[in-house]
Amino acid sequence: MLLKVSPKSTADEEFSSHDLERQIVDYTDSSTRFYEAPRDFSKQYAHIYSARLCTFRNILTPLIKNKWSNKYKILKLCDLRESGTSCVIIGTLFKLQELKPSILKELSDQLEIIPQPTRTHFVHDSDSLVLEDELQRIKLVSDVIDIHQVVTGVVCAILGSEDEDGIFTVKDVCWPGCSIQKPLPVRNEDRYIVLMSGLNMASKSADQILSLHLFLEWMSGLAGTSYYQEEVSKIVRVIIAGGVFANHSDESVLNESDVISSAELVDSLAAAISGVAPLDIMPGCKDPNDVMLPQKPFHYCLFPKATEYKSFRRVSNPYECEIGGLLCLGTSGEPVKDIMRYSNLDNSQEVLKKTLEWRHLAPTCPDTVPCTPSVDTDPFIIYNCPAIYFSGNADEFGTTLYEGEEGQRIRIVSIPDFCNTKSIAIINLANLECYSMSFS
């Protein structure tokens, strides 16, 4: 374990001059659906919703049978005829939110004399839920579903009945839940991956850069005793989850001059890390990249030195890969922050759990999170249950081991903002234990 204390020995034995080799594990990039996401902006966004609904309808149908057996018919909204009869309807949840920003309101607000205060949280008591399918929508009334715990874009199956007013009373709900997880490989030796995000290199503060120096010395196996250096050699991969140039805490827009001046520093850091360990670098919403999800990898021109290393990989946001037989899936944090804005979920860990329950990385796409219009498929659906599920640029470090209904074990990690916390996350692939390491 990385937390092992070196046994007592002489000074010379403690600091012996030895050459260590970093351990290697199998790696596969599974982000093909994010790389190949279409960029055809002539299409409407309605197609992604219909693709999402179609996919989840197939997922939910067997789950409904398992949960409610065959007692209730699965009907479409246009087939609802008899009031009071219990049935199951499948559709996309839509939250009618009074405080939700609207372009029409912005245009009308321009005429107002008193400027409206900027909001960061758009939850109101008057919010209501509506279920939509391919053709119709119906208003939901429920004590089962807490409206402030859901967001627009979630697909679910609802058991209830329609009353005379045309309002559907919800009795029970069936979420998609986690898919079946591939059996986790049994590993005897410790192998670690490092997750970090929110480097905010454009800020160039001395405190932050010294912390990065300490991180590099630690990562390179220069710091510590010989025994500790052997443990550090078991770190097999480093993943930077966005916020490389600017992090989310800085609400101001990144200037071109900031990017240009920090590009060399970012490249030298990426090259230094790639020189000692495999590095996967993801873009964030504030980085010089397309803001629409799924974000394409950084352009290679930004990393002329790092591109020389075979261990350097520019990857997409969201990012999915298989490291040592364990599926890792995560984002740079934009969907999590957006869900927190439109619901009362204020803990990133809770949000990540909910997204696993909803089986969707970013349900608020494309409503409030910009994304590219997709026609045939929804790339944000979680098709395979991950073993490590992370989200970057969080305010603080958080981790839980989520256990699904069918025995799934998922390590949920909220990667903290390195610029503010000077912290990284270390995950042991052998037992899915997770720690945070701070450099100060």
Chosen residue from 69, 84, 164, 310 binding another protein by CB under 8 A: 310
Q: Which residues pair with 196 in a beta bridge?
A: 240
3-class secondary-structure state, position 74: strand
Q: Using CB under 8 A as the criterion, what x/- string covers residues 179-218 for binding another protein?
A: ---------------------------xx-xx-xxx-xxx
Residue 170 to residue 184: CA distance in whole angstroms = 37
Q: Count residues near another protein (CB under 8 A).
A: 63
| CB 68, min distance to another protein, A | 43
Helix/strand/coil (H/E/C) assignment for every residue in 145-192 = CCHHHCCCCCEEEEEEEECCCCEEEEEEEECCCCCCCCCCCCCCCCCE
Task: Please identify, using beta-carbon distances, which residue of 15 and 68 lies nearer to another protein.
Answer: 15
Is 12 one of the binding residues for another protein (CB under 8 A)?
yes
Cα 310 to Cα 60, 236, 273, 281, 296, distances in angstroms: 42, 14, 12, 13, 19
| CB 314, min distance to another protein, A | 9
Residue 304 to residue 297: CA distance in whole angstroms = 15
Is 274 one of the binding residues for another protein (CB under 8 A)?
yes
Chosen residue from 49, 168, 309, 418 binding another protein by CB under 8 A: 309
Is 122 one of the binding residues for another protein (CB under 8 A)?
no
Pick from 268, 374, 247: nearest CA to 312 = 268
Rg (CA), the chain: 24
- Tally Cβ neighbours within 10 Å of residue 198: 30
| 395 CB burial (10 A radius; 0-12, 13-18, 19+) | middle
Task: Please identify, using beta-carbon distances, which residue of 18 and 81 lies nearer to another protein.
Answer: 18
Residue 370 to residue 263: CA distance in whole angstroms = 25
For residue 107, the Cα-to-chain-centroid distance in whole angstroms is 33
Task: Please identify, using beta-carbon distances, which residue of 3 and 375 lies nearer to another protein.
Answer: 3
| CB 206, min distance to another protein, A | 4
Chosen residue from 37, 157, 202, 232 binding another protein by CB under 8 A: 232
Chosen residue from 145, 272, 362, 415 binding another protein by CB under 8 A: 272
3-class secondary-structure state, position 401: strand
Is 223 one of the binding residues for another protein (CB under 8 A)?
yes
Is 11 one of the binding residues for another protein (CB under 8 A)?
yes
Contact (Cβ atoms closer than 8 angstroms) between residue 282 and residue 240? yes
Chosen residue from 134, 136, 141, 228 binding another protein by CB under 8 A: 228
Task: Give, as ranges, the residues between 323 and 362 that touch another protein (CB under 8 A).
Answer: none
| CB 417, min distance to another protein, A | 16
Is 224 one of the binding residues for another protein (CB under 8 A)?
yes
Measured at the alpha carbon of residue 238, what is the angle toward residues 328 and 244, in degrees to the nearest 5?
A: 100
Is 401 one of the binding residues for another protein (CB under 8 A)?
no
Is 400 one of the binding residues for another protein (CB under 8 A)?
no
Residue 389 to residue 409: CA distance in whole angstroms = 10
Residue 359 to residue 306: CA distance in whole angstroms = 35
Q: Which residues of 252-289 are buried (b: 16+ CB within 10 A; e: fewer)?
A: eebeeebbeebbebbbebbbbbbbbbbbbbbbbbbbbb
Contact (Cβ atoms closer than 8 angstroms) between residue 342 and residue 95? yes
Take residue 141 and report the two structure tokens written for it: 């009334």
Is 113 one of the binding residues for another protein (CB under 8 A)?
no
Task: Please identify, using beta-carbon distances, which residue of 267 and 350 lies nearer to another protein.
Answer: 267
Task: Please identify, using beta-carbon distances, which residue of 157 and 201 lies nearer to another protein.
Answer: 201
Is 137 one of the binding residues for another protein (CB under 8 A)?
no
Q: Using CB under 8 A as the criterion, what x/- string covers residues 356-395 for binding another protein?
A: ----------------------------------------
Pick from 1, 387, 407: nearest CA to 188 = 1
Is 300 one of the binding residues for another protein (CB under 8 A)?
yes
Take residue 65 and report the two structure tokens written for it: 């049978």
Chosen residue from 178, 269, 329, 415 binding another protein by CB under 8 A: 269
Task: Please identify, using beta-carbon distances, which residue of 15 and 402 lies nearer to another protein.
Answer: 15
Task: Please identify, using beta-carbon distances, which residue of 141 and 216 lies nearer to another protein.
Answer: 216
Chosen residue from 7, 8, 21, 189 binding another protein by CB under 8 A: 21
Is 141 one of the binding residues for another protein (CB under 8 A)?
no
Residues that bind another protein (CB under 8 A): 3-6, 11-12, 15-24, 206-207, 209-210, 212-214, 216-218, 220-226, 228-229, 232-233, 265, 268-269, 271-272, 274-278, 299-300, 305, 307-311, 397, 426, 435-440
